[in-house]
Structures are given as C-alpha cells and as structure tokens.
Structure 1
Amino acid sequence: MDSETLERVREVVRSIPPGQTLSYGEVAELAGIRSARLVGRILAEDGHDLPWHRVLRSDGRSAPHIAAEQAARLRAEGILMVDGRLPREHRRR
C-alpha cells in the first residue's frame, strides 16, 4: 500500500464527526479505493490516533476483538449498539 492511499483513508476516518459512523466500505469509497478490507488493515496497523471506533462492518456490527471497547467509545458519543449492532436507522445505507 502506498502512503497516498494510507493518508486518504486516515483523512476520511479523521473526518467522521462524533456521534456518527461509517462502514469500512463507505470509508473505502470516500477514500477512492475498492477494498473495505484494506481500510480495516490500515486502521489495525496505523489507526490508534484516529476515531477508529466510528467505523463498523456493513451490517452495523463491530469486529469481535474490538467490540466491547468500540461499543463503549460509541456510547460515550451517544451512539447505542443494540444486541451488538448499530440500529439500521443510524446507518447511512
């Protein structure tokens, strides 16, 4: 992955306002790349300083290994997960 792609993804994630979320696919689309998985990889490797918790799977779920922390961070911003999922009415698509 090139540094330009990395920075585009980081900028999209950085721009997600508190209290809002995007899916990995939406971040990829906004960053001009095709791979939602690449977004996940970038956040896992270089996203510690970003609001990574505002990025969810397309079905509104968290990845299992970060679910508890992600839900807590989202709750602090006023977003409540229901049964481990962001309610549909809070998802963009």
Structure 2
Amino acid sequence: MPKPKSIAGTRIRAEVIRLVGLIPAGKFTTYGSLAVHMNVAALHVASVMSRLTPEESQRLPWHRVLSADARISPNMEASLAATQRQRLEGEGMRVDAQGYLQDSDAHFHVVGLRRNIRWSDPASGG
C-alpha cells in the first residue's frame, strides 16, 4: 500500500492503527467513536481500516470496529464480514443474522474524549 502523501494523512493512519490495537478482546468500538476521539471524520477511520496491509490485518484486532449501529458493515466483502463475525463470536459476542452485535452496551469500548488535534501540525502531539 502506498503511504499517505500528507503529514496529516500519515499521522491519522498511525493513530487509527494505534487505537485499534488497544481495543480489548470481548469489546468493540465504532468508526465514529474513533473519529470523534481523534477529531476527524468517520470516513477517515473507515478509509484507513479498508486499506490495512496484510501484515496489519494479521496483527490488529480490526474485527472489533463496527458501524455506528453496532453492526458489521453491510458494505464489507462477504468473506471479510464472515471472518469478522467469527472473530467477534470467538470473543464471546453474539451477532444476529443481520450482523448486529447483541447486548452491545455491555461490550462497548470507550475510546476517550474528543482530542483537540491539528493533524497537519507535528507539534500538536497526535
């Protein structure tokens, strides 16, 4: 995968990867929660997640990131969605036939408060 061309893109990508790596087993968060915490759009998070390298996909718990309604993305390739479902269920979470996580409040991982970051400014400590 080519590296992002901007400083901001590079920093956002690194932070998404870092935060996803911190989601504990048996918990999930949403693209939007990550985005709010990072002070970016959810589309930025989704873009990073959809472009993980094979190595990143192997080591990151990407399956713990769901849509805002605690659902496996209906836009995801079917084989990836099946893998995500299998991994979530393997961690004790129940997913219904439509891909919605059951008892989602009990499994939600709070990423943190919104951070006031200017991603293009290296001094902002993203």
Q: Same fold (TM over 0.5)?
A: yes
Greater Rg by CA: 2
Q: Number of residues paired by the alignment?
A: 92
Runs of 4+ deviating beyond 3 Å: 88-93
Which of 35, 60, 75 matches 2:89?
Answer: 75
Q: How far 1:90 moved relative to its partner?
A: 3.5
Which of 25, 28, 45 matches 1:18?
Answer: 25
- Secondary structure of 1:2's partner? helix
Amino acid corresponding to residue 89 of structure 2 in structure 1: R
Question: Any stretches of 5+ residues in structure 2 without a counterpart?
Answer: 1-7, 111-126
Question: Any stretches of 5+ residues in structure 1 without a counterpart?
Answer: none
Tell me the percent identity: 32
TM-score of the superposition, structure 2-length normalised? 0.65
- Aligned Cα RMSD in Å? 1.9
Q: Is the 8 A contact 2:26 2:107 kept in 1?
A: no
* Cα deviation code 1:12-58 (max 9, x no counterpart): 1110000000010011122x132111111101112513111000001
